Amino acid sequence: MTDLTTFTLAEARDALRARTISATELTQAHVEAVAKARALNAFLLETPERALADAARSDDRLARGEAGPLEGIPLGIKDLFCTAGVRTTAGSRILGEFTPPYESTVTAQLWRDGAVMLGKLNNDEFAMGSSNETSAFGPVVSPWRRAHPSVDARPPHAGSDEVGRVAFAAYDDTKLVPGGSSGGSAAAVAARLCLGATATDTGGSIRQPAAFTGTVGIKPTYGRCSRWGTVAFASSLDQAGPIARTVRDCAILLGSMSGFDPKDSTSVDRAVPDFEAAVSRGVKGLRIGIPKEYRLPGTPDEIAALWDQGAAWLREAGAEIVEVSLPHTRYALPAYYIVAPAEASSNLARYDGVRYGIRVPGRDVASQYEATRAEGFGREVKRRIMIGTYVLSAGYYDAYYVRAQRIRTLIKRDFEEAYAAGIDAILTPATPSSAFAIGEKASADPVEMYLNDVFTVTVNMAGLPGIAVPAGLDSRGLPLGLQLIGRPFDEETLFAAGAAIEAAAGRTVLPDAWW
CB of 432 to ligand GLN, least distance (A): 13
CB of 227 to ligand GLN, least distance (A): 13
The 425-429 sheet, strands edge to edge: 43-46, 116-121, 74-78, 196-201, 239-244, 216-219, 466-473, 479-486, 425-429, 287-291, 320-324
Range 466-485, binding ligand GLN (CB under 6 A): none
Range 180-209, binding ligand GLN (CB under 6 A): 181, 201-205
453 binds ligand GLN (CB under 6 A): yes
Rounded distance, CA 112 to CA 106, Å?
10
Range 320-359, binding ligand GLN (CB under 6 A): 340
127 binds ligand GLN (CB under 6 A): yes
Task: Transcribe 203-222 into DSSP letters.
Answer: SSTTHHHHHHHT-EEEE--T
Q: Which is nearer to ligand GLN, 372 or 456 (CB)?
A: 456
Residues annotated catalytic, as ranges: 78, 181, 205
Rounded distance, CA 42 to CA 132, Å?
10
Q: How far is CA 212 from the centre of its chain?
A: 11
**Do residues 93 and 376 touch, judged by C-beta distance below 8 A?**
yes
Q: Is the dihedral of CA 83, 86, 90, 96 positive or negative?
A: positive
Rounded distance, CA 337 to CA 345, Å?
12
Rounded distance, CA 185 to CA 181, Å?
9
Count of Cβ atoms closer than 10 Å to residue 316 Cβ: 11
Side chain identity, residue 245: R
Count of Cβ atoms closer than 10 Å to residue 244 Cβ: 28
CB of 209 to ligand GLN, least distance (A): 9
Q: Which is nearer to ligand GLN, 281 or 383 (CB)?
A: 383
The span of 28-36, 121-129, 154-162, 491-499 binding ligand GLN (CB under 6 A) equals 121-129
Which residue, 459, 496, 9, 497, is CA-closest to 239? Answer: 459
Q: Which is nearer to ligand GLN, 139 or 353 (CB)?
A: 139
Q: Which is nearer to ligand GLN, 210 or 425 (CB)?
A: 210
CB of 45 to ligand GLN, least distance (A): 20
Binding mask 223-242 for ligand GLN (x = CB under 6 A): ----------x---------
CB of 182 to ligand GLN, least distance (A): 8
Question: Which of the 8 DSSP states describes residue 469?
Answer: E
Count of Cβ atoms closer than 10 Å to residue 289 Cβ: 24
Phi, psi angle pair for 105, to nearest 5°: -60, -45
Q: Which is nearer to ligand GLN, 93 or 383 (CB)?
A: 383
Which burial class, exposed, middle or buried, applies to 422 when counting CB atoms under 10 A from its CB (0-12, 13-18, 19+)?
Answer: exposed
CB of 453 to ligand GLN, least distance (A): 5
129 binds ligand GLN (CB under 6 A): yes
CB of 190 to ligand GLN, least distance (A): 18
Question: What number of chain residues touch ligand GLN (CB under 6 A)?
Answer: 13
The β-bridge relationship of strands 466-473 and 479-486 is antiparallel
**Do residues 484 and 175 touch, judged by C-beta distance below 8 A?**
no
Q: Which is nearer to ligand GLN, 313 or 336 (CB)?
A: 336
253 binds ligand GLN (CB under 6 A): no
The span of 127-135, 357-365, 403-411, 427-435 binding ligand GLN (CB under 6 A) equals 127-135
Q: Is the dihedral of CA 447, 223, 10, 287 positive or negative?
A: negative
Q: Which is nearer to ligand GLN, 168 or 233 (CB)?
A: 233
Question: Which of the 8 DSSP states describes residue 481?
Answer: E
Q: Which is nearer to ligand GLN, 72 or 486 (CB)?
A: 486
378 binds ligand GLN (CB under 6 A): no
CB of 384 to ligand GLN, least distance (A): 8
- Residues found near ligand GLN in the complex (CB under 6 A): 127-130, 181, 201-205, 233, 340, 453
